[in-house]
Structures are given as structure tokens and as C-alpha cells.
Structure 1
């Protein structure tokens, strides 16, 4: 599983070039894109199309080559395979057939954005949501979950949906900070941190800002000035929901993580709601 550049071709690793040179074949998301990439490095290899629509069938072609003792590299169109890109099913099938899957780390839009986001409140913790559902109730539930969680959340988005996402994040997150990375590692790269409410205006400020690939980080909520004993209505709602399904201590622990409220205060609230515990 071999990571390729997300834009700047100089970001390929020496190890990746060495393994591509050794490979007997390259399985890839798009044969045209990968052929051009290999040609840029002076490499020519047999290509196997393995994308989201044929990954299970393509896995069998890869496994047959592995059974013959061949080396097969898998690459997605950009970045690290398996992260909002095809590759996970291929790995599962190859492992089930008894073959080893080796990671070759490299470029990733996710880690590139996190490294320059300056996220402090989350203390390094974040949730990776990838591409949100494109529409409907499922998308709305995903947005509500991001807004309700105090943890940082990383998102990816395509250019034709970035304006709609910006409007949705503005409506759900308001003043919460969002770091947006556009065209990371490419000529017109932009990284900026703005309030979610300002995202639509940020995109509209320059016509080219709606072009290219996007990675976004919704920043974690900083601890508020609430006193140790204060538990707000939203935290109580979360606690009540968890108490319906979990033992008291587990519900309190998870509620504290989800809401950022003090565990001791949540524990007292839980005892008041569930005195038999």
C-alpha cells in the first residue's frame, strides 16, 4: 500500500520509488492517472485497475499475481490508500488469502493539514470524518454530530460541494474555528483559519477559492469558564441518552468526553437521575 504525492510530485519518497521499480505490477485507482505518474519518474509497469466499483474483482487479479510470487504495489490517485480512497477491501482480501500487506507511508492531505492547523485545545485528539454523506438526513445527522462533539474533526471535500459544506458548517458551528486547506502542496495552496460562520465569505472573496481539493479541520472546543459543578442542558441530554444504554460509570465517562463537562459534576447529576445506582 504505497502513498503517492497529493500534488507536488517531489513529495514521492525514495522508498516508494524503489518499490515501484521492484514491483511486477501496479494496481491503481485510475490507470491513466497512474501511467502519467509513473512516466514522470521514468517507470513503466503493467497496471491493474482497482477502483471503488471493481475493487473486489480486482483483488482476485492481484491475489493471483501474488500466488505466482510477484510483487504488486497499490496506489490511489493521490495520498495514502484506504483513507477516503479505495484500498481497504483489497487489503482485507489479500490478508484473507494469507498474503502480507506492507504500508509505505508518505503524503496525506489529512496529516498535511493537521501539521499546520495549530490545534491546541484538542491536545492532539481528533476524529476523521472524511467525506460527509452528500445529501439528505444522513448528512444532517453527521453535521449535528460534529457540532455536538467538543473534539476536533477532520473533513475532506470536493470542489463542486465545498460551497454547500461551507454554508452548512456556518449554520451548525457559528464562531467555532475551522482551518481550511485548499490545493495542499500545489502551486495555489492556501491554508487559513477562520470562524465557521465566515467560511462562505472566505470562499467568495476570490473566484479561484472554490477550485481544487479541500481538507478542513473543525477545531476542538476550548474548555469553557463554567464552574466545576455546572452541567448545561445539552450535557444533561447526552447523559440521559447514555444512561438508557450504559452502566452509570461508563455513561458518565463517555458523557464527559463528548461534552467537555467535569466528570464529577456529571457523576452527581447521574446519581440524581438514577439514584438506584
Structure 2
């Protein structure tokens, strides 16, 4: 039964009879569920609450309903295997009940940065042990994790933000588990590229996710040239300190007139979506460097034929490649391969502008 010692005059009615059974409920949870208990006269010392059960006899604790994730036993509902769990990209509320249940039930959580992930687990009062798992120790950790999985453990993998394996550690481990016939389960959650794409205003029916560009300038240029010729929306992850470089190189490949969207600090307090042309973006961000990771989307080419670059642009690209160590013949090949201009035309320009260097190369051969 429920015992109430001193309670201000108040009528409480129930349309159905609720049988009671033994066991103490959580006072705080019950207080949150019953409106009058949140009033100013409520004092935990004046009440003793007992849990109640349904007519069928199953126990109900106040507050423990479908809105709060229920814990599963490690050997019960969850099967042993690798669970790739999506976590918030900024706002800690952007996590599913299922994700929380998996994280609570796992034997271990693989985390890109244990200090960063520890804040998320602390926020949701999750006590599962953390193990670091990032790009610098991924190869060493794989066999340790694989052994634990083969022993029947439940392993959850999270990244610092978003969905594991998408420009984050996890891809190789997932491949290894698949090859070893170990269960791999996706636990859907936030993903920066999909979040930005959905509100971009650009075409969403088809898109190409490029992610982070290569560090080597020649490889970056090749990739941007490929993207510039595609008709689908192109999506890139760009660190804030490399935004100016990205816009300059994109301008050379896509042209200044191509529309782009720069998504910054998504789901956070200072969330921003900048929209305009690549040329306008260069001007807008030339004087300041934004904070936070950036997701940049560039519209696909709209015409079947890409507008040919000017002779000055071709010369600039050739000189840039040569200064970065490429031979003249390789520079000609790269520039011609990334534009609609024929290789013969680019080679002719190279002879006029860099003929002396070509002669030196031929003599050395």
C-alpha cells in the first residue's frame, strides 16, 4: 500500500484500481511522473512510496516506461558481436534510446577519444568500460578486439561524433568481423554529411561523398578535378584551418560560379549554413577563419559540357604543379585530364610558357 503521512488537502482520483506489490520505487522518478509531487510543498522526508504492479502481477516502477531505455542483460536480448553506434555530432540530445541501451549493455566500448566520449557516457550515467580505438592504434587493437568478440562479448564502437566508419575509425574492424563471420550490427544515428545534405537546398537524389581530401597537393587536385566533372552534389569534410586552401583549389577545378553550402557547428549553439558561389565564399571567408569542423557541399555540373578554363588558368595550374615537383610532361597530363581542353592544346601552351624547362628535361634524359 502507499503511506502518506502529511499531505495538504487534495483530492486524488483514479479511474482504475491499481494493485500494489512490495519493493521501493525511485522517489525522484515518481516525483517527475506525478505533477502534484513537483509542487513546492513536496518534501522527500514526508513520504514513503511503494512500487505497484499491474493486474497481471508484473512490476512497474514509476518513470521506467517506454520513454526510458531499458537495460538488457548481456546474455539475453543482445547477441554477441560488434555494434557500430551513432553518437551526437554536437547536441547530446541527438542519441537514440536504442543507442543508449546498447552502450549500457556492452562489455566494452571502443572510443576514438576516451576523454571526449567519457563526457557523453557521464551525461547518461553509463558505466561501461572504455577502450581507446583510433587511427594510430587501430591495427594493434584489432586482434585484441577480435579475440574478445570470439569469446562471445558485446563490443560497441563509437567515434568522437557521428557514425563510426564514415571518415572515422571502424571500417577495417567491420571488414575484419565480416570476414570472420562475426555479427556486425548498425545502430543508426547522426551523420554530418546527411544532416548537411538534407538542408542544403542542393540536389539530394544523387550525391558523392568525398570526405577528407588527400594531404598531397597533387592527389587533392586530381580528386577535385574528378568531382568537378560529376553531375551529382559533391560533399567534403574540411578542417577549419584548411578552408581557404580548399576554396582556392576548388575554384580552379569547379570555377567561381558553382553554388556551394558550408555547414558549420551543426546541432550546436552557433550552427550556421552559409550559401553562395565558390567565388563569393572565397571573399566571405578570406578575412576570418571559422571554428568547428566544416561540411562543404558543391553542386554538380549542370551542363553536359564543362566550361573550358582560360589560358591564364591553365598556365597557373601548370606552374603550380611544376613548383610542387611534377615534371612538365606529368603536369600537362594532369591538367588536360581534369579539363575539357585537349592534351595537345595544353602541351602547346606548356611549350610556349615553359619551353626552356622542357629542353632541360629532354637533355637530362
Q: TM-score, normalised by structure 1?
A: 0.76
Please state if 1:111 is matched with 2:194.
Answer: yes
Distance 2:90 2:167 in 1: 17
Moved more, 26-35 or 3-12: 26-35
Matches within 5 A, 1:48-63: 48-63=131-146
Q: Structure 1, unaligned stretches of length 5 or more?
A: 225-230, 235-258, 260-277
Please state if 1:194 is matched with 2:194.
Answer: no
CA radius of gyration, larger in: 2
Tell whether the 8 Å contact from 1:25 to 1:73 is kept in structure 2 after alignment. yes
Q: Which residue of 1 aligns with 2:212?
A: 131
Tell whether the 8 Å contact from 1:48 to 1:58 is kept in structure 2 after alignment. no
Distance 2:160 2:88 in 1: 9
- Over aligned residues, Cα RMSD in angstroms? 2.0
Tell whether the 8 Å contact from 1:28 to 1:50 is kept in structure 2 after alignment. yes
Higher relative contact order (CA 8 A, sep 6+): 1
Matches within 5 A, 1:44-193: 44-120=127-203, 124-173=205-254, 174-193=256-275
Match of 1:218 among 281, 285, 298: 298
Q: TM-score, normalised by structure 2?
A: 0.58
Tell whether the 8 Å contact from 2:264 to 2:293 is kept in structure 1 after alignment. yes
Distance 1:165 1:232 in 2: 20
Tell whether the 8 Å contact from 1:170 to 1:199 is kept in structure 2 after alignment. no
Q: Structure 2, unaligned stretches of length 5 or more?
A: 1-83, 309-338, 340-365
Tell whether the 8 Å contact from 2:234 to 2:299 is kept in structure 1 after alignment. yes
Tell whether the 8 Å contact from 2:228 to 2:301 is kept in structure 1 after alignment. no
Match of 2:121 among 34, 38, 45: 38
Structure with the largest fraction of helix: 1
Tell whether the 8 Å contact from 1:176 to 1:196 is kept in structure 2 after alignment. yes
Aligned length: 225
Q: Displacement of 1:41 after TM fit?
A: 1.1
The SS at the match of 2:285 is: helix
